[in-house]
């Protein structure tokens, strides 16, 4: 199958499914109602993530016939990705329609990650030359670290999904970047799966931005977060992997940084780290007076900047990328602090 067909088939499936999902959302009660934590002004269907998942999952089994089995035992990887993604989609749908606690989400996510680790045979074992003293190999400690890392990325994408098109855009930039790095390294598995996810995500985009006819919901944000996390592992781990493990961290730097910042604030304030609030980057930017549409575009540009940094530095050691990443994150932190000050002054007036 030509590479471009993977993208277009996933796009068409996703795009064509959305109108049906709008009707399904209305009939099932999967509607996002405006409230304190929401910026939208009218009830909106929220099962759009199913369109993304279908675009990826329908085409994924056919990839078994086109991807070379010599790369990362790709048949096992693709099969494991398919099964684990179905589980993530199921818990997302449950949450969108009936609601699911963070504990239920963690159980489903844990089972899905286990399928990838023990079924696909991949996990984060090599962190690269992260500290400048040689490559860091985790050995079996890489298994619990993989659970932690995947949980983190899934949560990061889930939490960044707060404005029309925001998570769709960030994820699309990441999938495109992953696809390019996969092509550079000759990793067919990561390339095909990245393009399938990119096509499916863009298939929802027209309905999700600038005015959302449907939200992706947790069925979408959990699915995208899980796919991004697993693709990052496929891209950087294994005997044939040549991509610096810091590359996906840089590409996903904005949602990762935002999540770590918010969780740290909650813990320092002795609050439940999983309790929802309006302390995320996009919330602060909107409250500072920026229009939501402009906020989305700014965060897209920041995500694109992080991807460009990854492309410029990917041939360097991991510690170099880590250093630059910390500098950029510090600059973004100063930007956020300025937003807080602006907001405080506006409230005093």
Residue pair 342/289 in contact by the 8 Å Cβ criterion: yes
State pLDDT tens for residues 213-251. Answer: 999 999 999 999 999 999 999 999 987 788 999 999 999
What span, in angstroms and rounded, lies between the C-alpha atoms of 188 and 196? Answer: 12
Position 296 scores a pLDDT of 93
- In which band, very low, low, confident or very high, does the pLDDT at 72 lie, cut at 50, 70 and 90? very low
Position 17 scores a pLDDT of 96
What span, in angstroms and rounded, lies between the C-alpha atoms of 80 and 42? Answer: 39
3-state DSSP assignment of residue 212: coil
Q: pLDDT above 90 covers what percent of the chain?
A: 58
Q: pLDDT above 70 covers what percent of the chain?
A: 91
Position 71 scores a pLDDT of 45
What span, in angstroms and rounded, lies between the C-alpha atoms of 7 and 158? Answer: 24
Position 346 scores a pLDDT of 63
Position 148 scores a pLDDT of 95
Strand runs (DSSP E) across 48-146, as ranges?
Answer: none
State pLDDT tens for residues 287-318. Answer: 777 888 899 999 999 999 999 999 999 988 89
Residue pair 1/188 in contact by the 8 Å Cβ criterion: no
Position 343 scores a pLDDT of 66
The full 3-state SS of the chain, as one line of letters, equals CCHHHHHHHHHHHHHHHHHHHHHHHHHHCCEECCCCCCCCCCCEECCCHHHHHHHHHHHHHHHHHCCCCCCCCHHHHHHHHHHHHHHHHHHHHHHHHCCCCHHHHHHHHHHHHHHHHHHHCCCCCECCCCCCCCCCECHHHHHHHHHHHHHHHHHHHHHHCCCCCHHHHHHHHHHHHHHHHHHHHCCHHHHHHHHHHHHHHHHHHHHHCCCCCCCCHHHHHHHHHHHHHHHHHHHHCCCCCCCCCHHHHHHCHHHHHHHHHHHHHHHHCCCCCCCCCCCCHHHHHHHCCCCHHHHHHHHHHHHHHHHHHHHHHCCCCHHHHHHHHHHHHHHHHHHHHHHHHHHHHHHHC
What span, in angstroms and rounded, lies between the C-alpha atoms of 334 and 92? Answer: 34
Position 43 scores a pLDDT of 86
Position 81 scores a pLDDT of 95
Q: Does 98 score more than 80 pLDDT?
A: yes
Average pLDDT, the chain: 88
Position 62 scores a pLDDT of 81
Position 51 scores a pLDDT of 96
Q: Does 22 score more than 80 pLDDT?
A: yes
What span, in angstroms and rounded, lies between the C-alpha atoms of 158 and 259? Answer: 10
Question: In angstroms, what CA-CA distances link 237 with 73, 218, 285?
Answer: 12, 28, 36
Least confident of 19-28, 152-161, 260-269: 260-269
Task: Give me 341's structure tokens.
Answer: 């000050």
Q: What is the mean pLDDT of residues 96-104?
A: 88
Instruction: Scan for tokens 């030509």, then name that residue.
Output: 2
Q: Which residues pair with 41 in a beta bridge?
A: none
Q: What is the mean pLDDT of residues 309-337?
A: 88
Q: What is the mean pLDDT of residues 191-198?
A: 95
- Residue 254: which residues within 8 A CB-CB, separation 6 or more? 160, 170, 281, 299, 302, 303, 306, 332
Domain boundaries, position 248? 3-348
Burial class from Cβ neighbours inside 10 Å (0-12, 13-18, 19+) for residue 216 reads buried
What span, in angstroms and rounded, lies between the C-alpha atoms of 191 and 71? Answer: 11
Instruction: Scan for tokens 């696809």, then name that residue.
Output: 179
Q: Please give the tally of structural domains in the chain.
A: 1
Task: Give me 321's structure tokens.
Answer: 């990328």
Task: Output DSSP code: residue 70.
Answer: T
- In which band, very low, low, confident or very high, does the pLDDT at 19 lie, cut at 50, 70 and 90? very high
């Amino acid at each position: 199958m030509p590479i471009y067909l993977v993208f277009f088939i996933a796009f068409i499936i996703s795009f064509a499914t959305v109108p049906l999902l709008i009707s399904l959302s209305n009939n099932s009660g999967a509607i996002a109602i405006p409230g304190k934590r929401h910026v939208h002004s009218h009830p909106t269907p929220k099962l759009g993530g199913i369109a993304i998942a279908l675009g990826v999952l329908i085409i994924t089994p056919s990839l078994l016939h086109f991807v070379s089995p010599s790369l990362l035992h790709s048949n096992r990887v693709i099969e494991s990705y398919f099964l684990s993604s179905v589980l993530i989609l199921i818990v997302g749908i449950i949450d969108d329609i009936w609601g699911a606690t963070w504990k239920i989400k963690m159980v489903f996510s844990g089972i899905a990650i286990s399928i990838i680790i023990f079924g696909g045979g991949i996990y984060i074992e090599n962190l690269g030359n992260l500290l400048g003293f040689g490559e860091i190999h985790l050995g079996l400690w890489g298994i619990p670290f993989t659970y932690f890392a995947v949980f983190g990325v899934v949560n990061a994408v889930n939490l960044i999904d707060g404005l029309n098109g925001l998570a769709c855009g960030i994820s699309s930039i990441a999938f495109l970047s992953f696809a390019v790095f996969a092509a550079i390294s000759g990793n067919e598995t990561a390339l095909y799966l990245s393009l399938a996810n990119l096509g499916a995500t863009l298939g929802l985009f027209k309905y999700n931005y600038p005015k959302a006819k449907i939200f992706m919901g947790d069925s979408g944000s959990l699915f995208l977060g899980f796919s991004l996390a697993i693709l990052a592992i496929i891209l950087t781990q294994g005997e044939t992997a040549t991509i610096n493990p810091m590359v996906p961290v840089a590409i996903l730097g904005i949602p990762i940084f935002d999540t770590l910042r918010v969780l740290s604030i909650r813990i320092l304030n002795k609050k439940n780290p999983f309790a929802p609030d309006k302390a995320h980057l996009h919330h602060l930017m909107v409250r500072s007076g920026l229009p939501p549409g402009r906020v989305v575009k700014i965060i897209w540009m920041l995500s694109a900047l992080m991807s460009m940094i990854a492309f410029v530095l990917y041939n360097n050691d991991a510690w170099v990328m880590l250093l630059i990443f910390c500098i950029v994150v510090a600059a973004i932190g100063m930007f956020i602090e300025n937003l807080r000050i602006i907001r405080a002054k506006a409230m005093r007036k």
